[in-house]
Chain A
Amino acid sequence: MSLANVYSLYRTMEDENVILSFKGIVTAELLTSVLHIMEAKMDSMHETPRIRKKVFNVLVECLQNLYHHVENSSTPASREFLERKSALVLIVKENDNFIVKTGNYIDADKAQELKDRLEIINSMDKEGLKEYYQNSLNNSMVSDKGTAGLGMIDIARKSGNKLDFEFLKINNETSFFCLNVKID
């Protein structure tokens, strides 16, 4: 990357109101650090406890989704493999709204499954989501890491907005999943 490109990347982030960004592999340590930094930031921005908690909650779920996503894949370590494990996390503050944006690679077959689930979630209102969450909580089997597939429902409930998402086709096996969660 040329030095001019560093500035243009910086400008883009500044113009898009990005207050925190990360690109790389989401590890447990990274997750802890990002949460810590974001809490301190929201403290210094004098956000209301309500917003602080919502942003924190959504961020925890988004980051832990990315963390478990990396953990669940098992491909040999190569440069390409490391890139596939990387994710992008951006936190944007626009007017009074926070937006958590994430991007990560996903297998094409899992992409369809996730897309279907997100569409179901987006078709529901507040009460519908509540019922869906309670049913999933009570009936779902938990994987050995304790993820119960509740994350996206919880993110939708806490955000109070429709989930904005897109799957970009990279090739026949892989897509890139972009998620925008607006909190207001």
Chain B
Amino acid sequence: MEKLILEASAKTPEVVFDPAAGTLLLKGRSIPENSIEFYKPLNDWIDGYAASPGSQTVIEMKLEYFNTSSSKCILDLFKKLEKLNGTDVSVNWYFEEDDEDMEEAGEDYQAIIKLPFKMIEVEEI
């Protein structure tokens, strides 16, 4: 299985999904008008990864902002990961100091998704 690497753009985050390391990184901002189009290859990649995941899978969410159109796609991504078998899945949710909105966004997902979340406050994402 190949890595999925997408460079960040003005409206979409950097993506690095590394099957060997079992890490899935989303970093930057996610504000596309049509988020389904952007998230489809990410979902497809996870479908492939589901066949032979690493013993541990860590989702590194380092988002600066995301729009509500992305929020639904991110939830669907988590729901897919929640169903993975044969791997311990966890989420590291990063937010910048004083960014109560991004901290709350993490709590929103935590309330819906049954994956362990670690909330990590950093100076700058």
Contact = CB atoms under 8 A, between A and B. Distances in A.
Interface of A: 28, 31-32, 35-36, 48-50, 53-54, 56-57, 60-61, 64, 67-68, 130, 133-134, 137-138, 140, 142, 144-148, 150-151, 153-154, 157-158
Contacts of A158: 101
The secondary-structure label for the interface of chain A is helix
Interface stretch (B43-51, B52-60, B71-79): B71-79
B72 A53 contact: no
Contact of B75 (A36, A138, A144, A153): A138
Contact of B72 (A28, A57, A134, A137): A137
A36 B31 CA distance: 13
B108 interface: yes
Interface of B: 10-11, 31, 33-37, 64-65, 67-73, 75, 96, 98-102, 104, 108, 111-112
Contacts of A133: 108
Nearest to A149: B68
B20 to A, nearest CB: 31
A64 B69 CA distance: 9
A68 B34 CA distance: 10
Given A134-B108, A138-B112, A148-B71, A57 B34 contact: no
Contacts of B36: 142, 144-146
B30 to A, nearest CB: 10
